[in-house]
Structure 1
Amino acid sequence: MKFNESVMSKLIVVFLFCCVLFACSKSSVVPKTAPEFKSSIPEDNAVGVKSSTNIEVEFYEDVSLADNHSVTLNSKFVKVKASSTKLIFNSNLNANTTYTINIPAGSVSSIFNVPLVEDIRLTFSTEESKIEEAGVNLVSTNPSPEATNLYSFLKENYGKKIISSAMANVNWNINEAEWVKQHTGKYPAIATFDYVHLPYSPVDWVDYSDISFVEDWWSNNGIISAGWHWIVPTYEGSVDYTYKPEETTFKASNVTIDGTWENTVAKADLEEIVGYLKLLQAKNIPVIWRPLHEAAGNTYEYTNGETWFWWGTDGADTYKELWVFMFDYFKAQGLNNLIWVWTTQTKDNAFYPGDNYVDIVGRDIYNNAEAASIAAEFNTIQQTYPTKMITLSECGNTADISEQWNAGAKWSYFMPWYDYERTNDTNESDFAGNVHEHANVAWWTNAFSNTYVITRDQMPDLK
């Protein structure tokens, strides 16, 4: 057969083209490798990290997270999400703490589903908690010597020790404190009361003019604290009372306006409660005073949140006017034995009456067993109000005080709320029980087992 050079040339060209094409196609195949660590925030071995820092771990390519990823922070499983090339941690950091991030092999995969081959382990430590010097003086004009002594005592111990407190059962007794003493052998240092039934006193079941047991507590070096669930008529002229905004036509915005029925009621109430507080002042008893608490309710916590008390319903500006109205009224009446506590719901700085009207900032926490998140709240509040002492003004079903303290929540004092059924009658058999709606005997025993928790027997004479 005769050789056809033209055909042969074409075949050679086709062959060479195929070779080039095959080589190119082989070189374009991307190798399927495991995820490769790139960087992290904070960096590995970083020190002095701010507790507000958000943790991120970045890779050189997009990654996905296994359903059973087992990623931990200080050996505890944490919420993590994959976003493009990063792992983003949902966790709160505490001050003065060393952290270790562990991302086990297999927890992360590349876009080709190739899993992480080796563990990634990163370590960093946060900065020390900074507690600035509390205000030099009380906000009250010419405070009594005893109020000044008490404030100085709180300042001296702030960040070093935490003072124990018990709430009255509803209003005017020391039943909760007696219950704690019965089961632990010690009294809390602070006895707290509530003037919630002001319109009814004095009657046989509540008489705020009987201060004998309050005097006794103070004479035994105990501290006195008081709050006020301020109940008002459900409508003008009503003899039914409430603090719930949905149950009354009483408007906080009218309290400071002369001639309104709300103004008339408020002035009468303030005059009455000043009389009761002056009974304590006459006995040289200072009072940690916490009125108009939790004003913002949960309005800043989630959509459709609401205020819980009438004093917060008309907004932050009205609330601050009401606070100053009370403050100025007390000042005009010569009350000088009070240490003023304002309660934050967090994210509610608009409700803050101002540094000139507040000595201590409180926070009420319930149903939170996570010491780390409690400490994170403490740190946030302290950073927001750096010249004020921060206190756990109410609590219930929380992490043990030892856990909170070790996590960095250096509260000035703590106070579990009362259990009505458990302590409403000290003579009933129920009073002997160890279980409690807000803080059982084990919780109190844990608190009192720590040398930094102050009980009444450890209190100095502040007279």
Structure 2
Amino acid sequence: MSATAFALLPHAAIAKTVGAAVPARALSNPLASAEAQALYGYIWSIYGTKTLTGQQEQNFTPAGARVELDYIQRVTGRQPALLGLDYIEPVDQLAVNERATAWHRSGGIVSLCWHWGAPDIGSGYENSKKDFDVARALVAGTTQNVAMLAQMAHVADLLTVLRDRKVPVLWRPFHEFGGDWFWWGKHGPQAFKALWRTMYEFFVVDRKLDNLIWVLGWAGQNIDPAYYPGRDCVDVAGADIYVDDHGNQAGLFAQVKRIVGDTVPICLHENGPIPDPATLGPEADWAWFMTWHTRWLQNPQQNSPALLREYYRSERYVTKDELPKW
């Protein structure tokens, strides 16, 4: 399939926003909300000297909510600065919005991803790993295209609720795109970039979701520059890794930095073991880390209670109680 086959989908009355130069340390969306600009400015203000603590919650079912937060509070006496949530299951999406709103209003930072099940198959984690004909989905009017855009519109509706509540969101769609396990990563860089830009145009221009900070997340196994959509539609770049050590992952940081330079903050957008804060510095200046849920947090072989307590109390790491009053 040629690169030209993956052109940006046309939307009615869209004024082209991607492609324009972005001022230094500014969000890619020039009409970003005051709340999104304040959060982004804060991330830049600490970047290189501090790192935000983050935790993904287990919300594959509503009953999974707060398991990680309660555990961290019990072990460390603190809470992470950043809470990761997921629109993975339709039955939980409205509750995700309520948890995101409550977290923001209590002073925390919200990160949202979407384990998007193949649009013509169904929702859920296993369906996100099934294949989907992206080439057909990027042709207006096809069955795949109609299904994809309808589901994209549904999630835009959910994000609109957060926009209207003035909740800024670290939005990280199509995560781990360099791998071949999720449908959006199975068709190569040109297909991926077309998907990213299609969503960006639809959310930012059509739906005016000015509360989003766009986070691009490579899989640690494949940091390929060919997948980079461009600074004009990316605000933060990062990668994830689940190796069984607490090293600073400087090699991973360097790979991402070779692609984006100093144009955007670089985050460890998913991790197993939390990096030892004493080892962070110019070679691994992660803007934040976000530990995955269940066994990655609570398994002593990954993050022992003693280390979790020590790391959450370090000078390098910012916890929720240390955030500015938004």
TM-score range, shorter chain: 0.7 to 0.9
1:455 maps to what in 2? 319
Q: Relative to structure 1, is the Cα distance of residues 239 and 160 closer, same or farther in structure 2, using a 3 angstrom cutoff?
A: closer
2:294 maps to what in 1? 419
Separation of aligned partners in 2, 1:271 and 1:402 = 44
State whether structure 2 residue 102 is matched by structure 1 residue 219. Answer: no
Q: Relative to structure 1, is the Cα distance of residues 220 and 413 closer, same or farther in structure 2, using a 3 angstrom cutoff?
A: same
State whether structure 2 residue 222 is matched by structure 1 residue 333. Answer: no
1:288 maps to what in 2? 170
> Once the 2 structures are TM-superposed, how far is the Cα of residue 262 of structure 1 from its aligned partner?
1.2
The 8 Å contact of residues 117 and 123 in structure 2, kept in 1 or not, is answered as no
Segments of 5+ residues of structure 2 without an aligned counterpart are 1-22
> Once the 2 structures are TM-superposed, how far is the Cα of residue 162 of structure 1 from its aligned partner?
0.3
Deviations 1:272-324 (A, max 9, x none): 10111111111110000001011111xxxxxxxxx111101111101100000
State whether structure 2 residue 290 is matched by structure 1 residue 401. Answer: no
4+ residue segments displaced more than 4 Å = 238-241
Deviations 1:188-246 (A, max 9, x none): 0111101111xx33xxxx242563332222122110110111112565xx78870113x
1:42 maps to what in 2? none
Separation of aligned partners in 2, 1:370 and 1:407 = 17
Counterpart code for 1:410: D
Separation of aligned partners in 1, 2:281 and 2:200 = 36
The 8 Å contact of residues 419 and 438 in structure 1, kept in 2 or not, is answered as no
Determine which structure has the larger helix proportion and give its number: 2
State whether structure 2 residue 269 is matched by structure 1 residue 354. Answer: no
The 8 Å contact of residues 168 and 174 in structure 1, kept in 2 or not, is answered as yes
Determine helix, strand or coil for the equivalent of 1:211. helix
Counterpart code for 2:325: D
TM-score by length of 1: 0.60
Separation of aligned partners in 1, 2:194 and 2:73 = 41
Larger Rg: 1
TM-score by length of 2: 0.83
Counterpart code for 1:450: S
The 8 Å contact of residues 87 and 112 in structure 2, kept in 1 or not, is answered as yes
The alignment covers a number of residue pairs equal to: 297
CA RMSD, 1 decimal? 2.5
> Once the 2 structures are TM-superposed, how far is the Cα of residue 254 of structure 1 from its aligned partner?
1.8
Segments of 5+ residues of structure 1 without an aligned counterpart are 1-133, 298-306, 424-433
Deviations 1:239-282 (A, max 9, x none): 8870113xx4x212222211211111111111110111111111
State whether structure 2 residue 303 is matched by structure 1 residue 439. Answer: yes
Return the match for 1:264 from 134, 146, 149: 146
1:166 maps to what in 2? 55
Determine helix, strand or coil for the equivalent of 1:196. coil
Higher RCO structure, 1 or 2 (CA under 8 Å, sep 6+): 2
Determine which structure has the larger strand proportion and give its number: 1
Separation of aligned partners in 1, 2:274 and 2:244 = 5
The 8 Å contact of residues 55 and 83 in structure 2, kept in 1 or not, is answered as yes
Return the match for 1:139 from 5, 17, 28: 28
